[in-house]
Amino acid sequence: MDTAVIREEGAEPPKKHSALVRIAVLVGIAILLNVFLAYLVRVFYHEPMQEDFCKEEQVVALIPNSESCLAVGGQWNESNPVEAIPPGKGLVSGYCNAQYTCFKNFESAYSLYNRNLFIVFVIAGVALLLGSTFLTGAKTVSSGLSLGGVIALIVGSIRYWSDMDDRLRVVVSGVALLTLLVIAWKRFRDE
């Protein structure tokens, strides 16, 4: 008796899928996991918008001096005296960035938002990577989860990277590399 595989009489042998089909499914799982995660976050955690912080005025009034500029939360920028617009209003020795304070508030809120997205994507990425190591019997699905986890880690890091402190960048890079090496070692050492 052949010891390789014992099948019930009349049962069809299991279907083998081509490598291209497996790769397509793997990539599809990874991409759709991240699309799902991104829209899940978007639905429940709204992104700060600049217009929520800095109201657009239909008519922008001329702010002629630093005192008036600071009173509206702006930043006065000195320059060589120029003719005021409209002409006939005298000389102006600078200009006012009236949205300075509101834009700084927006930048601060957006940085906090990016940090929180970083945390969500890192947690999701690590969970996907860990989950993929315990999933047995479906190599393509397990590999799709692994790739999805790696992409989630990359997306989260990219969102917050410009706001990160250099020391945190080193820690994040090191932990990500170590995690990936450990998981790769466990998953692929027998192959």
Q: And the tokens for 40? A: 């899940």
- Phi, psi dihedral angles at 75 (to 5 degrees): -125, 125
The residue written with tokens 């692929």 in the block is: 188
Q: Which amino acid is at 138?
A: A
- The answer to whether the peptide bond before residue 86 is cis (omega within 30 degrees of 0) is yes
Between CA 149 and CA 141 the distance in angstroms is 12
Asked if 38 contacts 154 with a C-beta cutoff of 8 angstroms, the reply is no
CA distance 172 to 175: 5
Q: For the ranges 8-17, 56-65, 106-115, 122-131, which has the lowest average pLDDT?
A: 8-17
pTM over 0.75: no
On whether the CB atoms of residues 151 and 34 are closer than 8 A, the answer is yes
pLDDT of the residue at 45: 93
**Number of helices (H), then strands (E), in the chain:** 6, 2
What tens digit of pLDDT does each residue of 129-176 get?
Answer: 888 888 877 888 888 998 899 899 889 888 888 888 899 889 888 887
